[in-house]
Structure formats: C-alpha cells, structure tokens
Amino acid sequence: MAAALLDGKALAARIQAEIAEEVRAFTAQMHVTPCLAAVLVGENPASEVYVRNKRLASERVGMTSRLIRMDSQTSQHKLLALVAQLNADTAVHGILIQLPLPKQIDSHAVLCAVSPLKDVDAFHPENVGLLVQGTPRFAPCTPYGVQQLLIRSGIETAGRHAVVLGRSDIVGKPMANLLVQRGPGGDATVTICHSKTRDLAAITRQADILIAAIGQAQFVKADMVKPGAAVVDVGMNRLDSGKLVGDVDFDAVKEVAGHITPVPGGVGPLTVTMLLKNTLSAAILSAVKRDLLNTD
Ligand code: GUN
C-alpha cells in the first residue's frame, strides 16, 4: 500500500478528549451543562443509529442529550411547534433535526425554523450565508470534520487544487466553501464536480486533494487519482453483500494516493465529533448572550 491511512477514528477520539476538557471547564465556570436535543421523526433504521451515536458521544464528553421522537405521520405543524418549543427552551443549546424527514414535511421550512443560534448542523440560511462570507458561526459537521482531518494530518491546502465530487447542501457545497476560505485548512483552488460535469476523470486527476461525496459505491477508481494525492472518502454505501464501502475504490486507490481515509473509520467519527464541538460553541454563545443581558 502506497498511501498513508488517515485515521479518522483515532483523530475523533483525540478531538473528543479536547472537547470533554473544554466542557468540564465551561460547566465549572458557567454552571451550565451543554445540551443537545435530537429530533427523530419516523423509524428510519440508519437515522436511529446516527442519532444514537450522536447522543452517546455527547454524553461521553460531559454534555446532556435529549431525544424527541415523533411518529412518521407527524404533521409539519406539529414539528414546527416542537421546534419553537426547543428554540425557547434555555436549557437546550443545540437542536438537531435528523434527516431525511417524511415526505409530508417540507424539510427546508423546518430547518429554517430552527434558531440560527442553536443550529448545530449549520443548515439554516443565516449560517450558510455566514460560512460563504468567511465568518462562520457553525460549520457543517462533515466538511468541518474533513477540514480538521486535513489540518491535523499536516496536509497543506493553501495554493493546492482541491476537487470536491458532489454538490449537496450538506457536504459538497459547504466543503468547497471551507476549502476556499482564507486561513488554515483553506486557501485552496477549488473545483466542484457533479453529475453533469464533462470529462470528470480529467479533472479529478488534477486534484492534489480529492474529496468524494457523491453517494455511489466505489465510484472513484485508481485511474481517476493523481499519484500522491490526498483522497478523502465521505461516502457510506452498503453493497448487496452487506459490506460497507465508501465512494472510493479503496483497495485500488490506496496504491496510487499519498493519503487515504478508510470507510468505516474515516470521516464518519469526525462528523459526530464536530457536532459536539458545535454544541459546545452554541452553549458558549448562549452563556455569553445571557451574561451580556444580565450585566447592563
Ligand atoms: N442525515 C444525514 N446526514 C445528516 C446530518 O449531517 N445532519 C442531520 N441532521 N441529518 C443528516
């Protein structure tokens, strides 16, 4: 194997230990325990697992978590009423609406209803706008995790060509926005590729950093990768055999790349970790706001 493995699981454990220490200091000083409220609508098995992992991780770093379940027939009106209640609850700092939502619900309307100050997924248009302007309040968890992985693995982004495969609102677009920003983990020259991109392989072969987030099992082949490139796989696909694989053909690409993330154990654990980071940031924002309001 030519490529060095980017061990997201080990890095996530390190960052979570740092967050646990920050939570301890914050709670001791402010007498507030950061709290994440997760909303789960319906019975999607994958969502069940994701939410359980997020709650377990938040408790591991000393936060509290709440789970609010709603049945799959829940109306938009009822879900919006719940969001309003969580927005107004001063004991809740972060609100996570697990996606996807059932089809009778307008997801965009629900995500827009979450208070931007509690929007730890960074999906609210105000937070998207702040990110695009280069002054993020919260960064979306998966791209933020990928950026931390690059920074902490010593992979230079400044002046290098980063190619993002995929233009989703959750990963592709915010990933490109983070990479193009000024500062550590940024200053890259960024190309976004998608299903209408012509001669995709010719573009991916130019990438010093290739980020795959298209949701197609083992789509990125060895001949699409420049020798020595850093390849980050955001994909999570289950083959008919039951095996979990990413968007990158790992066994072939690892012989060409300089660095590569495994699936599982790459980006996934970092997504959860950055959600914790955002929840702590939301609790800090809330405490600062409270103190400002109390002291004048
Ligand atoms: N469903 C798939 N990815 C995500 C995510 O990052 N956040 C939420 N809330 N739901 C998701």
Q: For residues 34 and 281, give the distance between their C-alpha atoms in angstroms, rounded to a whole number.
A: 9
- The single-letter code of the amino acid at 62 is G
Average pLDDT, the chain: 97
Percent of the residues in the chain that have a pLDDT greater than 90, as a whole number: 96
> How far does the centroid of ligand 1 lie from the alpha carbon of residue 50, in Å?
8
Region 16-28 average pLDDT:
98
Coil/strand/helix, residue 102: coil
| pLDDT, tens only, 251-280 | 999 999 999 999 999 999 999 999 999 999
Ligand 1, atom 11, lies closest to the CA of 99
> How far does the centroid of ligand 1 lie from the alpha carbon of residue 39, in Å?
11
What are the backbone dihedrals phi and psi of residue 96, each rounded to the nearest 5 degrees, phi first?
Answer: -120, 115
Instruction: Identify the pLDDT of residue 19.
Output: 98
Higher-confidence position of 296 and 240: 240
> How far does the centroid of ligand 1 lie from the alpha carbon of residue 98, in Å?
5
- Please give the radius of gyration of the chain, using alpha carbons only, rounded to the nearest integer: 19
Indicate whether residue 272 lines ligand 1 (CB < 6 A): no
Q: What is the CATH number of domain 32-114?
A: 3.40.50.10860
Would the pLDDT of 292 be above 90?
no
> How far does the centroid of ligand 1 lie from the alpha carbon of residue 291, in Å?
32
Indicate whether residue 170 lines ligand 1 (CB < 6 A): yes
Would the pLDDT of 119 be above 70?
yes
> How far does the centroid of ligand 1 lie from the alpha carbon of residue 131, in Å?
18
Q: How confident is the model at residue 296 (pLDDT cuts 50, 70, 90)?
A: low
CATH level 3 topology of 141-268? Rossmann fold (3.40.50)
Find all residues with CB under 8 Å of 241, minimum gap 6, and list them: none
C-alpha closest to that of 111 among 214, 180, 41: 41
Which H or E run contains 161?
A: strand 161-165
Indicate whether residue 141 lines ligand 1 (CB < 6 A): yes
User: What letters, b where the CB count within 10 A reaches 16 and e where it falls short, cover 61-89?
Assistant: bbbebbebebeeebebeebbebbeebbee
Kindly list the domain boundaries of the chain, sorted by start residue: 32-114, 141-268
Q: Is 243 exposed, middle or buried (CB count within 10 Å of its CB: 0-12, 13-18, 19+)?
A: exposed
Q: Is 162 exposed, middle or buried (CB count within 10 Å of its CB: 0-12, 13-18, 19+)?
A: buried
Q: Which atom of ligand 1 is nearest to the CA of 142?
A: 6
Q: Which atom of ligand 1 is nearest to the CA of 47?
A: 1
Instruction: Identify the pLDDT of residue 291.
Output: 86
Q: For residues 51 and 121, give the distance between their C-alpha atoms in angstroms, rounded to a whole number.
A: 13
| pLDDT, tens only, 31-59 | 999 999 999 999 999 999 999 999 999 99
Residue 12 exposure: Cα atoms within 13 Å on the Cβ side: 26
| pLDDT, tens only, 199-257 | 999 999 999 999 999 999 999 999 999 999 999 999 999 999 999 999 999 999 999 99
β-pairing, 244-245 vs 237-238, is antiparallel
Indicate whether residue 119 lines ligand 1 (CB < 6 A): no
Would the pLDDT of 142 be above 90?
yes
Ligand 1, atom 1, lies closest to the CA of 99
Give the catalytic positions in this structure.
54, 98, 121
Please name every residue paired with 36 in a beta bridge, in sequence order, or none if there are none: 65, 94
What are the backbone dihedrals phi and psi of residue 54, each rounded to the nearest 5 degrees, phi first?
Answer: -65, -40
| pLDDT, tens only, 83-109 | 999 999 999 999 999 999 999 999 999
Q: Do domains 32-114 and 141-268 have the same CATH topology?
A: yes
Tokens (6 digits) for 225: 């990768």
Q: For residues 230 and 22, give the distance between their C-alpha atoms in angstroms, rounded to a whole number.
A: 31
| pLDDT, tens only, 54-77 | 999 999 999 999 999 999 999 999
Would the pLDDT of 198 be above 80?
yes
Region 144-151 average pLDDT:
98
Instruction: Identify the pLDDT of residue 218.
Output: 98
Q: How confident is the model at residue 289 (pLDDT cuts 50, 70, 90)?
A: confident
DSSP 260: E
Of 121, 141, 279, the one to substitute when testing ligand 1's pocket (max ligand atoms within 8 A of C-beta) is 121
What are the backbone dihedrals phi and psi of residue 67, each rounded to the nearest 5 degrees, phi first?
Answer: -120, 125
Global pTM reads 0.96
Please name every residue paired with 161 in a beta bridge, in sequence order, or none if there are none: 189
> How far does the centroid of ligand 1 lie from the alpha carbon of residue 101, in Å?
10
Ligand 1, atom 4, lies closest to the CA of 99
C-alpha closest to that of 236 among 207, 212, 258: 212
Instruction: Identify the pLDDT of residue 166.
Output: 98
Q: What is the distance of C-alpha 118 from the center of its chain? A: 15
Instruction: Identify the pLDDT of residue 295.
Output: 59
Q: Which atom of ligand 1 is nearest to the CA of 100?
A: 1
Would the pLDDT of 168 be above 80?
yes
Q: For residues 44 and 234, give the distance between their C-alpha atoms in angstroms, rounded to a whole number.
A: 20
β-pairing, 259-260 vs 4-5, is parallel
Q: For residues 218 and 237, give the distance between their C-alpha atoms in angstroms, rounded to a whole number.
A: 9
